[in-house]
Amino acid sequence: MSSPSSEIFRRGVQIQKRTLIAWSAALVLLALSVVSAWPSMESSGALEDFSTGLSPELASALGVDQIASASGYLKGNLYAVLLPLLLGLMAVTATTALTGGDEEAGRLELLLALPVARRQVFLVRFLCVAFGLALTSVLVWLSVYGSVVSLDMDVSAGGVAAVTLTVALLAVLHAGIAYAIVGFGFGRGPALGVAAGVLVVGYLLHGIAPMSDALEPLANVSPWEWALGSDPLLNGVPWGGVALLVAVSVVVVAAGTYAVDRRDIKNA
């Protein structure tokens, strides 16, 4: 990495340091509290009743269809909804803050007048966000994996790694969507709204469309389906889905980078 890039990267990480620590701490805490509740849940047998009364489709939509098993419990309480949603929001807010937010506040004015290419500044800042997501994901992964081992849960180590990877890539994709919208000059607010909207609609398509035969094909357009459709916690890395997540992320980031180089920088 050339010297200007590493300088931009270091500064970008420094800027989001506090929020990154806060998000990581919150998500690690969430993961730990979910996992540590498992032994008492399992022994009480409360989980057996949890999904009775729900239709199998709805139980599947909520990810609680196999909740009485250890991996079903982890999926239902962490990986099906909560973690991807929160990590996705972290991705979107961090991206819009570092790109559109700083631009609109005039904090990029001097940086972009220095002898560094604009695409370099934006791309490296996107990498800062990806780095933050990777760091948080690894911490969550280590916490879950450590707990699984110490509580002797019947969950495969590979499965935890696989679902962590797909959830992280799902978040990166949404960071990419926010980045592209800023790149095309729509600003921080629209980028935040649209990317968060895609995140939520994606969940609904993935979770709810399968309940109706007519809507079921729609689930396939949801990035959630690519990441979690094949249940990576049980079945390992879904390489097709991973490829799709990576490919779409690359496309949106490339498009945003192309666009940002050809537009005006907003005035504070």
Q: Is residue 62 at the binding interface for another protein, with CB under 8 A as the rule?
A: no
58 binds another protein (CB under 8 A): no
Question: Whole-number minimum distance, CB 124 to another protein, in Å?
Answer: 11
**Whose CA is closest to 169, among 118, 238, 122?**
238
Would you count residue 21 as binding another protein (CB under 8 A)?
Answer: no
Residue 268 engages another protein in binding (rule: CB under 8 A): yes
**Between 117 and 138, whose beta carbon lies closer to another protein?**
117
Q: How far is the CB of 195 from another protein (least distance, A)?
A: 25
Q: Per CB under 8 A, does 221 bind another protein?
A: no
Q: Which is nearer to another protein, 50 or 186 (CB)?
A: 186
Binder among 58, 82, 112, 211 for another protein (CB under 8 A): 112
Residue 104: both structure tokens together: 């609109």
One-letter amino acid at 52 equals: T
Residue 22 touching another protein (CB under 8 A): no
- Give least dist CB 22 to another protein, A: 15
Cα-Cα-Cα-Cα torsion 209, 214, 216, 218, nearest 10 degrees, comes to -80
- In the bound state with another protein, the residue whose beta carbon lies nearer, of 27 and 121, is 121
Name the one residue in this structure whose structure tokens are 């979107």.
Answer: 92
- Give the Cβ contact number of residue 154 at 10 Å: 10
Length of the chain: 268
Q: What angle separates helix 118-150 from helix 157-183, to the nearest 10 degrees?
A: 160
- Hey, how many other C-beta atoms are within 10 angstroms of the C-beta on 245? 23
Q: Is 15 in the site for another protein (CB under 8 A)?
A: yes
Residues in region 238-267 near another protein by CB under 8 A = 261, 264-265, 267
Instruction: Give the nearest distance from C-beta 7 to another protein in angstroms.
Output: 5
Give the contacts of 252 (CB within 8 A, at least 6 positions apart): 173, 176, 177, 179, 180
105 versus 246: smaller Cβ distance to another protein: 105
Residues 82-111 that bind another protein (CB under 8 A): 105-107, 109-111
C-alpha 117/C-alpha 100 separation (Å) is 17
Helix (H, G, I), strand (E, B) or coil at 215: coil
What lies within 8 Å, CB to CB, of 16 at 6+ separation is 94, 97, 98, 128, 129, 132
Is 1 a binding residue for another protein by CB under 8 A? The answer is: no
Tell which one of 114, 149, 215, 246 touches another protein (CB under 8 A).
Answer: 114
Cα 32 from Cα 30, distance rounded (Å):
6
Q: Does 64 bind another protein (CB under 8 A)?
A: no
184 belongs to the binding site for another protein (CB under 8 A) = no
Contact flag: residue 234 with another protein (CB under 8 A): no
| Cα-Cα end-to-end distance for the chain | 30
Positions touching another protein (CB under 8 A) are 3-4, 7-8, 11, 14-15, 105-107, 109-118, 120, 261, 264-265, 267-268
